[in-house]
Each structure stands twice: as C-alpha cells, then as structure tokens.
Structure 1
Amino acid sequence: MNKPISRRTFLKKSLSTLATLTGLGIGGSYYAHNLEPKWLETKHKIISHPLIPKGFHGMKMVQFSDTHLGFQFQLKDLQAIVNKINQLDPDVILFTGDLMDQPNKYKAHQKIPPVLNQLKAPLGKFSIYGNHDHGGYGSEIYNDIMEKSHFTMLKNTSTKITLLTAEEIFIAGVDDAMLGKPDFEEALSGIPEEVFTIMLSHAPDLADTSRTYDIQYQISGHSHGGQVQIPFAGALVTPPYAEKYREGTYEIDSLTLHVNRGLGTTRLPYRFLSRPELTVYEFQAEK
C-alpha cells in the first residue's frame, strides 16, 4: 500500500488544483463548478461468480457515496438522488461513507433521516464509515443519523442476506482507514467458507488487504475519481488510501474492486472529467 500523504500535503495539492482551474479560464471554471458536479452518471456493473446462488440471479444493488452534505452538495441534491435511486428499483442499497463534509458543523442533522428514509430496498440498506464521518467528533452524529434512516451500519462486522430458499450471501464492512480502525478479522468472523462475500470499504486501497481474504468483491468510494482530472495528466489530487485505485473496476487476483466517484465535492467545489456517480450492480449466477 502506498504511503499516505499528510493533511498539509493534501491541502497544498488542493490549492494547486485551484490554480490549475483558474488557468482553464472563466468558461472552464464555470463548467467545473456549476455543470459537471450535477451531471450524474449511472454506471451499470454485472457481478458474476460461481459462488453466487441461483436465487440471487437478477438481484440489484445500488451504491451511492461521498455526498459531503453542507459543502457544495445540499439536501435538495440528496432528495434528487433518493428519487433517482428509487426509480432504479434496487433490492439492496449501499452507502459507502462521507455523508456530511463536517458533521459537527452541519446544522440540519434532523432533516437528513426523513430524506434517507424514503429509500426503498426490500433486502436491506447498509452503510459504512468514511473519514469525514469520523472527522470533527462526528462518529456518533453519523451513526445516529444512519440508525434513524434505517441503515444497518457495518463497522468491522458483517450481515447475511438470506432468501426464502435459504440461499445466502454476506456483506461485510470495515471501519475507515484514515480516522477509524479497520479490522478485517473481526469483520469477517463468522462467515463460512465458500460463500459469496462483498466487502464495503470506504478506502479503495484496502483492496490489497481484501485480496488476502476469502472476499470476492470490494465496493469503495473516497477518491471522488480525483475530483479534478487534467487531460494526459490524470487526477491532480487523490486522498490517502485512494492513491493506487482511483476509479472504476479492477481485477486484483481473485478479487474484483469497484471504486465509485461519489456525488459531492470537498476542499474545492469543482469536478472536472470526474462526473458524480451512482453504481448499479446486478447479480448473475453462473450455476
């Protein structure tokens, strides 16, 4: 795993990104501030594996991530995303961290659950911690919001989804790598061998740990896809634990990783060549 950069270095790089955007001119800055952050991309991914039971064929999961409420993304934007997710008719909903940009400074905590409670998923809604959820003494604030929103928090633990046929898969989640204490052994304890297992980790670079366990798929966020990308140069800023795996899908030995670009922004209110993303996963049984 790459050595994490310091907060000071991360902020310094963020400022250099702002300078780059300024260099793009007024038109480029307008696009990056006002247009691309609202230009949602819905990605569709097929999850196919011999361990997926036949009864799960066609099951649909929707992932949303990194809303960073209170910075640029606001409650009205969250409502629009909730409406979009419900239109996709998911069986399972996953939130992979960073709900609010600064939990202890966000003044509308009580307005979030009524919005998230509108999400419908018959097989469950699951969430994990991101670094911003822990930041500013926000851990309990975030946990309380997700509990009131009827999400199951997977903090170094797992849950199983069981069908009426008794077929099952497991979804595990680890704590955030930057400000939490991820514990794979604890998260995976009690999961039998030869059962399809998904790991939720806010930090995508923890895939190098997931690959050493009996995990078939990891779902992550955190990177924002770099948030600002420069043609032929790539992402100018990537946070710690998202430096190796920045966006998209990777095959890492027997593990598949997908890194969602998230919905909001942080540090700088811009996106450039890194559109906000919802990810739809559809299961295909191979048996």
Structure 2
Amino acid sequence: MGRKVKVASVLSGVFICMAAIGKVMYDTNVFKRKEKHITHKKIPENSRLRMLQLSDLHNKVFGRSNKKLLQTIEEAEADMVVITGDLVDRNTRQWTQVFSLIERIVSVYQHVFYVTGNHEWDHPLTHPFLEGLKERRVTVLRNEHTALQINDSLSINVVGIDDVNSNREKVGQAFDGVDEQLYTILLSHSPDFVNEYKDQPADLILSGHTHGGKVKIPFVGSLVAPGQGLLPEYDHGMYRIGYNQLLYVDRGLGTSVVHVRFFNQSQISLIEVTHRD
C-alpha cells in the first residue's frame, strides 16, 4: 500500500512539473490581445480613440517572420500605434527582424509613436537605432509632444519622455506648451513616472517595463518587477492616479534576463477611449 502511495505521489509531482513547464512555455511564447475601454469628458460625443500599445518586445519573434503578431496588429483597426520602449534588448546583435516588423506596421498605420526604454539606453548603438526608426517613419518622441488630428472632431496630444529609470527624462520640456484642453496621452516606458512626478497634465499614461511582474502566483500576485522589486505596486493593468488620471501598464511581449513568464501571458493592448458626460 505504501509503495502505491509513493508511486502516485511521484506521478503527481511529475504531472505538476510538466503542467507548470507547459504553462511557462505558453505564457512566454503565445501572446494575446488585451482590450480595455475607458471614457473621458475631453473626447467629443460620437467620437472614439483606438490605440494599439506594444511594449517590451526585446527583439522577440513570434513564429515565422512575426506573421501572427502582424496579423493581430493589422486587424486591430486602431487610430494609432504606440510603442513604449525596449523594442530591442541591450544584447541585441542585429536589428533586421525588428526593423522588418516596424516596416510592416508603418505600411498599415500612418501614426506610429515610440519612446525609449532602459534597454535602448543600455545598448552601445542607441542613436543609430533611433535614427533607423525615424527613417522608417516612426515618430520618436524624446521629451517632446505633438498634437494629432484623429478626425474632424477629435484632436489629442501625444507626449513622450525618455526612460525615467535611465535618468533621461525631461518632463517639463516634454509638457511645455501642451494644450490642456485636449485629451493628453503620455508615453513613459516605466510606470515609476507616477511616483516621481505629480500633477502633470496627462489624462492617460501608457507604460510597460514591468513584464507584468514576470511570475504571478495565484492569490498572491506578481513576485517581482524591474524598478519596483518584490510584490510590485504597478505590475500590469489600469490604475487610477489621482483625480481623473489613469495609468495603464502593459505586460509586454518579450522577456529579458530570465526568459520565463508564469500566469502572466505575453500581450499587446488595444485601448479604446470614448465620450463621458
């Protein structure tokens, strides 16, 4: 009887290990499209704003030539694409794959915005990489903003800052002259922005960097996130930061250093903003 119990225990342990490995492989290599809907009084009636956010790719490729990822991006029918840093890893040797992805994206979407992450600044060829993005018609926002006309009734501000964790941000410069009457989106690779800067006129802050907390334990939450350490406060999802200001942290697509995700599937995000009285 005791031997049967031991065998059953061993088999149960093997099954649990295999299931955990399978979950890690799935969450790390199969992405999903996360959809969020929010409202704001600055969005005119009968108007909507659709933003597709990509973050923390780290030069990862999903399948042959990113076919599935590109299909998902194209089917989103967004008004704009925002890339919130770490397109490449600090150790990326060549950019052929990521530039090919960017070229396909800009062939579909007129408005593609990008801000730097910490891995771009850790890379020895930061500036040639940024120039390569500009040459491919990506709007690189480095501590600056631009006004964007979505349709006849909707104009917005898009503000972008260089990575906070790399001490490259110039927030005052980025917001200088922003029309606060318009709906304003801030692109900041790291959500740590909200701890360091208060009362900035951004209605929605889009960030990444955390990789969703890398590993999530049911009933406990995320274990660790870059810049926030153990049990991070802002690991992924939507947060209210003061009066009428929201922070959205995307889980991201790729991995770095420890190349695993667990109960924390890779994703891209489609965020829709509509009118609120």
Contact kept in structure 2, 1:92 and 1:121, CA below 8 Å: no
Choose from 247, 252, 259 the match for 1:269. 259
Structure 2 match to 1:127: 114
Is 1:39 aligned to 2:25, yes or no? no
| One-letter amino acid of the structure 1 residue matched with residue 31 of structure 2 | L
TM-score (norm 1): 0.81
Is this contact kept in 2: 1:113–1:148, CA < 8 A? Answer: no
Segments of 5+ residues of structure 1 without an aligned counterpart are 1-22
More divergent stretch after superposition (236-245 vs 123-132): 236-245
2:234 to 241, 245, 265: 245
Please tell me whether the aligned partners of residues 204 and 241 of structure 1 are also in contact (alpha carbons under 8 angstroms).
no
**Residue 93 (str. 1) matches residue 84 (str. 2):** no
Q: After TM superposition, where is structure 1 displaced by more than 6 Å over at least 4 residues in a row?
A: none
CA–CA distance in structure 2, aligned partners of residues 49 and 187 of structure 1: 22
CA contact (8 A) 2:59 2:98 kept: no
RMSD in angstroms over aligned alpha carbons? 2.6
Q: How big is the shift at 1:90?
A: 1.4
Q: Is the 8 A contact 1:160 1:169 kept in 2?
A: yes
Q: Secondary structure at the match of 1:85?
A: helix
2:248 aligned with 1:258, yes or no? yes
| CA deviation after TM superposition for structure 1 residue 157, in Å | 0.6
Tell me the alpha carbon deviations over residues 175-207 of structure 1, each in whole angstroms, 9 at most, x when there is no partner.
101224111111111212322101111111212
Please state if 1:61 is matched with 2:51: yes
Measured in 2, the distance between the counterparts of 1:122 and 1:25 equals 44
Aligned residues: 261
Question: Match of 1:80, SS?
Answer: helix
* Contact 2:164–2:192 under 8 Å retained in 1: no
User: Which has the larger Rg?
Assistant: 2
1:7-156 paired onto structure 2 within 5 Å: 26-54=17-45, 57-69=47-59, 73=61, 76=64, 78-102=66-90, 105-119=91-105, 120=107, 122-156=109-143
Shift of 1:214: 1.5
Equivalent runs, 1:145-224 vs 2, <5 Å: 145-163=132-150, 165=152, 167-209=154-196, 211-224=198-211
Contact 1:211-1:253 within 8 A present in 2 as well: no
Counterpart contact for 1:157–1:186, Cα < 8 Å: yes
